[in-house]
Structure 1
Amino acid sequence: PGLSDANMMETSATVPLPPAQDQRYLVVGGGGVGESRLSSRRTRIVDLKARDPRFTDGPSLDEGTRYPQTSILPDDSVLVSGGSRDYRGRGDSDILQARLYDPGTDTFRRVADPLVGRDYHAGSILLPDGRVMFFGSDPLYGDKAGTRPGAFEQRIEIYTPPYLYRDSRPSLSGGPRTVARGASATFTSRHAASIRKARLIRPSASTHVTDVDQRSVALDFTASGDTVTVTVPKNRNLVRSGWYMLFVDDDRGTPSKARWVKVL
């Protein structure tokens, strides 16, 4: 219940808002079924931990957007970029805009815009250094008039979030390569005293707009001297077995480079 523009859910994007423990999901944009010209400016949020879960509207996009790419960042924001107004970018309708969504304030802020249009078959993934890679796009036509067939986009773009333009970032090194659910692991950091959060972020598996594997899991942690000890939750449904990127953020919200950790 509460889902706005329910007839325009095709080509929308869905992302589990960080941290995953909150069980809140953001649904962005979308369009009508098939070659419909309908597109939605809506974002919708649902809290699955509520007594009676229902969708509520979040901040609106500037225009109707199909195929928006969404990527969870290690500072708990979500990058929303690209897409098109019409089916597969028809009519030269790709949208060269990007914004960061803040789950804490339920707001967007505009950030550096992409240079390449992205629509059908596009994707984005978070890199271990905190940047985001954009790739793909399969436009229906190669011109606004729709007289030339489109070509699959082969250019790759790298987005550098604002947090990487600060003077420094926390370090994170050492530690084990594997850790069991419910267990703890200790890593070295010269900036341990300034660490404010730790996140396990699942590597991406992106196709048809949706990153079906991404999630950011909050970890309990303690800092002592030049070490940070993190504890992985016991819940198998929350933390599935496999590889994760471990990030720690300092008191300015700047993330470390990730350490790869395999959860057993």
Structure 2
Amino acid sequence: MDNGKLFYSGSNAGYGPADVGRDPGIWDLETNTFDKIPGLSDPDQMETSATVMLPPAQDQKFMVIGGGGVGESDKSSDKSRLVDLKDPDPRFRDGPTLEKGTRYPSASLLPDDSVLVTGGSEDYRGRGGSDVLQARMYDPKSSTYKRVADPAVGRNYHSGSVLLPDGRVMIFGSDSLFADKANTKPGVFEQRIEIYTPPYLFRDSRPTLSDGPKSVERGGTAAFRTKDPASLRTAKLMRPSAVTHVTDVEQRSVALDMKKTADGIEVTIPKNSALVPPGWYMLFVTDEEGTPSEGVWVEVA
């Protein structure tokens, strides 16, 4: 969190006791206290759910997607749960639902502030041929899902998705328990990779960024050239993913203050190290339609 505390959403990768360590809440490391966050409508189905920090990271709003019962349970949830940690008394509320109960969903933040949610399975590790061959785009502003191009490959346990610097998303992995719907043949690890191209890449043109620094300090500014500064609306740092077991604690999109110049822009990096941990980020700008530039790698020191 931006105040240095740790938020636990209740999402977990699997196994462990059903009644220990599953309550969501906020852990204050300085006082070693844990304050539970109430409101989950299906607390028994948070295993194998996905959690994302919704953009911009400054808002401290989170969404928990799908999930299922503990261990090898056949229960799965179609819920999306939302929580605002800026609220003095945070509480989960239900957001829009998926069409099917979905364990192991993949969720990737996109540079236009939408969230791609794809894959997963209705049963434990795709058991019974239960992979969900659907993808949706979540709009944080309207809190709605929109169906987009469906994947061709089923994804469940040991799968993930990663935003690429060109604005596309790579979807990979899956470790089905069985290879057939009758559950008679052992599964094999999925080696095919899919690339999703969002609708914003089918527009006529996109912004460009060039001639900027490779490193910038927190609280500092960085200048970049672009061919049409007047058309730009947003700038953001997007941290690259580090995803495993439906868990991605690295993913975040940090909004930047942007000043337009005659031949480019100047962006200012927030000073807060809890909001902007040190390391490499992709810097994106978007135009008035939400079309993003290609990401430019910048190291925040």
**TM-score, normalised relative to structure 2:** 0.87
Deviates more, 1:208-217 or 1:157-166: 208-217
Question: Which residue type is aligned with residue 286 of structure 2?
Answer: D
After TM superposition, which residue ranges in structure 1, 4 or more long, deviate above 2 angstroms? none
Shift of 1:191: 1.9
Distance 1:34 1:129 in 2: 37
Distance across 1 between alignment mates of 2:88 and 2:261? 39
Query: For residue 7 of structure 2, what is the aligned residue in structure 1?
Result: none
What is the Cα deviation at residue 212 of structure 1?
Answer: 1.8
Taking the TM superposition and a 5 Å limit, the aligned residue runs for 1:59-208 are 59-208=96-245
Q: Given that residues 193 and 225 in structure 1 are in contact (C-alpha distance below 8 angstroms), is that contact kept between their aligned partners in structure 2?
A: no
User: Residue 258 of structure 2 corresponds to which residue in structure 1?
Assistant: 221
In 1, the alpha carbon distance for the partners of 2:203 and 2:243 equals: 29
Distance 1:169 1:196 in 2: 12
Rounded to whole Å, the distance in 2 between the matches of 1:245 and 1:181 is 15
Partner amino acid, structure 2, of 1:56: R
Which letter maps to 1:196? Answer: R
- The answer for unaligned runs of 5 or more in structure 1 is none
- Asked if 2 retains the 8 angstrom alpha-carbon contact of 1:163 and 1:254, the reply is yes
Secondary structure of the residue that 2:44 maps to in structure 1? helix
The 2-side partners of 1:214 and 1:206 are apart by 9
Say yes or no: does 1:20 pair with 2:46: no
Task: Find out whether 1:45 has 2:82 as its counterpart.
Answer: yes
Q: Distance in 1 between matches of 2:41 and 2:132?
A: 22
Give 1:224 shift.
Answer: 1.5
2:93 is matched with 56
What do residues 82-111 of structure 1 show as CA deviations (whole Å, max 9, x unaligned)?
Answer: 000000000000000001000000000000
SS at match of 1:88: helix
Amino acid at match of 1:117: G
Aligned counterpart for 1:30 among listed residues 42, 64, 67: 67
SS of residue matched to 1:21: helix
Count of aligned pairs between the two proteins: 264
Structure 2 letter corresponding to 1:128: P
Q: Give the distance between the partners of 1:189 and 1:158, measured in 2 at CA.
A: 27
Are 1:254 and 2:263 counterparts? no
Q: Identity, % of aligned pairs?
A: 68
Other structure's SS at 2:207 match = coil
How far the C-alpha of 1:4 sits from its partner, in A, is 1.7
Q: Deviations over 1:227-259 (max 9, x none)?
A: 110000000100000000000000110000011
* Distance in structure 2 (CA, Å) of the matches to 1:211 and 1:228: 31
Correspondence 1:263 to 2:300: yes
- Aligned CA-pair RMSD: 0.5
Letter in 2 for 1:80: V
SS in 2 for 1:71: strand
Secondary structure at the residue paired with 2:74? coil
